[in-house]
Structure 1
Amino acid sequence: MTTIPNLVREYVGRLQGNCNETLNTLDANGIIPKSDVSLWQKLERDIQFDDELSLSILDDFGDVVNLNTCSDDIFSSRLRFTFKKDITDNCVRFFFSKSLSILFSDDRLLQNTRRVLVAESKCSFRTETCIFAPWNNFDEILPNLLLDENEFNVAPRRYVRDLSGGKVPLTIGESLLIGNADETCPTFLAWRKEATSRLLLTLVNEVWLENGEIKVLISGPRKVTAVYSLKNDVSFSVATEVARWVYASGRDIDVRYTLFTYELAREFPEDSNFSDNFYKYGPKALDIAKTSFSTYVKETSKDTLKSLGDLRKTLNEDVAKITSQAKDFLTSMWRDFAFAVTVIIGRISLSILKPDLAGNIYIFYLMIFTAIFLFISCISNLFINNRFMCITKENRKIWKNKLYGFLSDAELKSLADEPINQAESIYNKIAIFGFISYLLVSVVIIFLAFTSVENKNIISINGVPIMNISLDSFKY
């Protein structure tokens, strides 16, 4: 079944004139061949029911023409055809494969594009961030891409110094092929040329314009300047392999990028064409860079293991200190309670054995002092422990960023934050329990102190009582 977009491409190609495609429109002008008149009339009728296309036709005077109602002599004159395409947020459409250059010239648009439909395309293929498929005017479900933001949100301009005004690509995901594609497909061939150009410019150290030419610099044991002029896509496979290793192999992009460009500069010929020679020198530079990177990873792994060992040791010490604080607080609490219980038992014993001494003013003072002592002991312990934990927490923020920056937030949370948070949670529960216990014991002691002076003046100045406490004051 021939689709409307393909019919448009076919009929426009037979016009005795020229055409120009943009992102939103296809503009064509010419004289309709007599053999195509009925075909154009049917096409005009069918497009009226198409949601993705609209057509307007003008004559030489700028008047609107309807091919199904106009006079026959209109077909012998030159007409202007404008096909307007539907553009969605993440999908673009083209009639001709060569028009892909329009998309690849707009980095911002390309960054947000997920589907590219081309009427001329005979195959479908996929890159890391885009699907390229034939443009059919019937419904076709194409999968939506769920991207790994950390992996393909990589900007090559962070690594390549761009002095050319935007020749270095903003993204690379659209240029990294996944799987295979039909190498006879015109859309794939057009895409491959654009992808090769973009990938190569991400594998140098510097790009600039000089007398209208693109120049590149590769830095290593020697600085090599080369001319960049893409004549063919012979370097596509090598450029794809290198770019995927450098930019899409996880962390340490800067290390892999530096190692590769360093090795590439070692033997690359001076003042040669970079795109023509890359496929010759790229594979060797990549192999050496991979070997160097493996050595780097091993050395880094040793340092990482040592750092992780130090981290575990530090965390164990911090957890042990927090646990020790909880134990010391409990020990201090039981010691204070032992003193308080002694005072309470003494007060009760006096009430039983010597009731006349139970209301002695010194017994009252002793019990009040005991309550104050318990309160001060509790507050001082909690204050000291809290200050220590605050200082330790501030120190952890500093060394986590400076010493363990190679760990992600999730890894730091699992290795460091969770064990310490668990220890602090246990301490906080013990602290709350201890504070409530201190408070209850202090209230009991104060209550007993005041009830011990029933009907007695406990404080007087020059024989004049200033406080009189009686059990009656506690009755309702």
Structure 2
Amino acid sequence: MYLIKLAEHLDSLAVHDNAHISESDDSVTVSNLCADAARLILSTCTELGWESYAFDAEQTPTEQSDLVEAFEPFRVTIIKPDRPTNTLDILTSVGLSYWLDKGHVSVYWRIASLSKPLLTQNRIYTGWILHEAGDGDSVDTEVVISPPTKSPRALVRVSGLLNIVPVDVRPWLLLDQMQFDSEEPFHKLWSTKAFNALVHALANEVDPESHSLIFKGPPKLSLEPSNLSAQNTEGVDSSTFLGVQSAVHWVYENSREAEIKHSLLAMEIARSGRENGPAVEYLKANISTALESAKIAYQMSLSELGKDTLKSLGDLRKAITEETAKATDATRQTITAVSWALAVGVGLVAARLSTGIDPWVASVVMLIATAYIGMIVYSGWSFVCLQRDLRDDWQPKLYRFLPKEEYKKMVKEPAEKSERVFRNSAIIGMVAVVVMFLGVTLVSFINLPGSQVSKLSSKNSKANADVVFQLNQQLRKINFPLSTPVPLRKDWSSHSIAYPKSQETQATP
């Protein structure tokens, strides 16, 4: 009760008595006070059990009993009690306005004069209730923090010296629009700050000089910024504010879609009206229509995107099929070349064993065959590596819409399977050809005992044949006189001597 009384008294002094209030995290300083106002503040702080200090016009510490008109104006400093973690305590409306403009990292904002809580996407505003001693001073209400979304400063073109475009829209977006009460003073103050921030998040550009909101269209639209304050909120009714809330929530609900939605809505806002004017009046008349048109345009763009996606998938399927076919052809060529090289090696070994060809000729021929196989394997593997690099480079540019698992299933696994077949075939074939080359070299340059024996046997056979032929010629030249014919017996040798016919005729009587 005393807390609300103190907060209302300070707000009244700021509005009616020209008191200056400065509120920080831990204290509240009120200056330009009369003696009665200073005494009331000190007495209320005493009832609350808070520390407070008074200073006169000469900046001299003054006790409550010494607060007289002669030493006016007075300055009073109020020390706030300890607060829970991640909590900001606010005592006055001036302090609330200051912290809404500046921002604070705390999620829980406790406000002394707040009667109805208000939840946004990353903050919760509740009343500041002091618990009894021993009850603790914790915050019981849980807040659901929405995930980070696209920053408006990434979509709205603005000069680097201007900070009127919010960095994050989540503090200004309601979780439940039904909680908003335009009759509640704090809700009204918060709505003015939120409206000013959200309107700037919808524009394409902010003029660096006039701070006008520019919507490119076509046609191009320029709106005067809304200069709303806590004392001037009559221009924004509840329906207009909630309409802007819905529009900004639709644009920034998904980081990946925020850019296209922002462009569509800005274009529809520019097309909805005809003349430039104040932002409040223009949006009051056109924000609902522009939002509906932007949603329709977005659905149409999704349809076109779906057609493009199907076409891209077809092109991707064709590309991976061609790539797999080329890898298969490279594998087939490698296997054919390896088979040819092995056949050449076998032929060289056979020729060396049978005819005794020059060993250097056999080794050079097999070396050429091995080098040929190596060139084929190298060219095929270079093609495989090139295709792999191209897939990695083009995937984030052309096929970002595909999830990683789908892309792996549709592209990477078939390509890796064909690469694996080529790699295994190339390794096995190359090893076999190298082994054949070593075998041919060994067979060509070692002395084979078997071949020398065969050569010696062939030479001996030829010499024996020559001796037999010479003896036969000599025997034919000798004449044997026979008086009577010699009978032929079966037990004699079958190799008889053939005599000339003329000699047999002469021996007959």
TM-score by length of 2: 0.68
Aligned to 1:215: 212
Deviations 1:75-131 (A, max 9, x none): 66745214368899975442235534323433xx56x66443433334443323333
1:27 aligns with one of 8, 23, 29: 29
Query: Kindly tell me: are residues 320 and 276 of structure 1, through their superposed partners in 2, closer, same or farther at Cα, counting changes over 3 Å?
Result: same
Q: Distance in 1 between matches of 2:129 and 2:225?
A: 37
Q: Distance in 2 between matches of 1:372 and 1:390?
A: 27
Query: Kindly tell me: are residues 312 and 63 of structure 1, through their superposed partners in 2, closer, same or farther at Cα, counting changes over 3 Å?
Result: same
Q: Higher mean Cα deviation, 139-148 or 280-289?
A: 139-148
2:387 aligns with one of 392, 395, 417: 392
Aligned to 1:80: 76
Query: Kindly tell me: are residues 17 and 225 of structure 1, through their superposed partners in 2, closer, same or farther at Cα, counting changes over 3 Å?
Result: closer
2:166 aligns with one of 169, 173, 198: 169
Aligned to 1:195: 194
Query: Kindly tell me: are residues 374 and 269 of structure 1, through their superposed partners in 2, closer, same or farther at Cα, counting changes over 3 Å?
Result: closer
Query: Kindly tell me: are residues 330 and 227 of structure 1, through their superposed partners in 2, closer, same or farther at Cα, counting changes over 3 Å?
Result: same
1:424 and 2:419 are equivalent in the alignment: yes
- Confirm or deny: 8 A CA contact 2:38 2:75 kept in the other structure: no
- Map 1:27-176 onto structure 2 (within 5 A): 27-29=29-31, 30=33, 31=35, 40-41=45-46, 43-44=48-49, 55=51, 57-60=53-56, 62=59, 73-74=65-66, 78=74, 80-83=76-79, 92-106=88-102, 109=103, 114-135=107-128, 138-140=137-139, 148-149=147-148, 152-156=149-153, 158-161=155-158, 165-176=162-173
SS in 2 for 1:128: coil
Query: Kindly tell me: are residues 62 and 317 of structure 1, through their superposed partners in 2, closer, same or farther at Cα, counting changes over 3 Å?
Result: same
- Confirm or deny: 8 A CA contact 1:162 1:206 kept in the other structure: no
Deviations 1:394-451 (A, max 9, x none): 5546655665566677765564445434433443344334444444444444444444
- Confirm or deny: 8 A CA contact 1:162 1:168 kept in the other structure: no
Aligned to 2:469: none
Query: Kindly tell me: are residues 38 and 95 of structure 1, through their superposed partners in 2, closer, same or farther at Cα, counting changes over 3 Å?
Result: closer
Structure 1 unaligned residues grouped into runs of 5+: 48-54, 457-476
Q: Distance in 2 between matches of 1:126 and 1:94?
A: 16
Query: Kindly tell me: are residues 302 and 144 of structure 1, through their superposed partners in 2, closer, same or farther at Cα, counting changes over 3 Å?
Result: same
Query: Kindly tell me: are residues 274 and 37 of structure 1, through their superposed partners in 2, closer, same or farther at Cα, counting changes over 3 Å?
Result: closer
Aligned-pair CA distance for 1:156: 4.4
1:336 and 2:341 are equivalent in the alignment: yes
Q: Distance in 1 between matches of 2:42 and 2:96?
A: 30
SS in 2 for 1:165: coil
Letter in 1 for 2:172: S
Tell me the matched-pair count: 423
- Confirm or deny: 8 A CA contact 1:164 1:207 kept in the other structure: no
Query: Kindly tell me: are residues 187 and 455 of structure 1, through their superposed partners in 2, closer, same or farther at Cα, counting changes over 3 Å?
Result: farther
Query: Kindly tell me: are residues 225 and 377 of structure 1, through their superposed partners in 2, closer, same or farther at Cα, counting changes over 3 Å?
Result: closer
1:372 aligns with one of 363, 367, 374: 367
SS in 1 for 2:207: strand
Q: Distance in 1 between matches of 2:90 and 2:43?
A: 25
Q: Distance in 2 between matches of 1:399 and 1:265?
A: 37
TM-score by length of 1: 0.72
Aligned to 1:263: 268
TM-align CA RMSD: 4.2
Aligned-pair CA distance for 1:159: 3.3
- Confirm or deny: 8 A CA contact 2:150 2:258 kept in the other structure: no
Deviations 1:219-252 (A, max 9, x none): 4353343333344442211101111222324545
Deviations 1:267-306 (A, max 9, x none): 4252432213313211112222222222222122212211
Deviations 1:7-61 (A, max 9, x none): 86367569899452344342125556778766533644xx5xxxxxxx5624325
Query: Kindly tell me: are residues 41 and 96 of structure 1, through their superposed partners in 2, closer, same or farther at Cα, counting changes over 3 Å?
Result: closer
Query: Kindly tell me: are residues 422 and 80 of structure 1, through their superposed partners in 2, closer, same or farther at Cα, counting changes over 3 Å?
Result: farther
Query: Kindly tell me: are residues 92 and 370 of structure 1, through their superposed partners in 2, closer, same or farther at Cα, counting changes over 3 Å?
Result: farther
2:175 aligns with one of 174, 178, 183: 178
Query: Kindly tell me: are residues 99 and 385 of structure 1, through their superposed partners in 2, closer, same or farther at Cα, counting changes over 3 Å?
Result: same
Deviations 1:313-353 (A, max 9, x none): 11111122123323332333233334434555676xx4xxx
Q: Higher mean Cα deviation, 312-321 or 140-149?
A: 140-149
- Confirm or deny: 8 A CA contact 1:227 1:272 kept in the other structure: yes
1:277 aligns with one of 268, 277, 282: 282
Aligned-pair CA distance for 1:146: 5.7
SS in 1 for 2:138: coil
Deviations 1:445-476 (A, max 9, x none): 444444445799xxxxxxxxxxxxxxxxxxxx
- Map 1:305-324 onto structure 2 (within 5 A): 305-324=310-329
Letter in 2 for 1:181: Q
Higher gyration radius (CA): 2
- Map 1:351-370 onto structure 2 (within 5 A): 360=356, 362=358, 364-365=359-360, 368-369=363-364
Aligned to 1:474: none
SS in 1 for 2:206: strand
Letter in 1 for 2:381: N
Q: Distance in 1 between matches of 2:368 and 2:83?
A: 79
Letter in 1 for 2:179: A
Letter in 2 for 1:174: P
Q: Distance in 2 between matches of 1:252 and 1:171?
A: 16
Q: Distance in 2 between matches of 1:390 and 1:192?
A: 59
- Confirm or deny: 8 A CA contact 1:91 1:117 kept in the other structure: yes
Aligned to 2:470: none
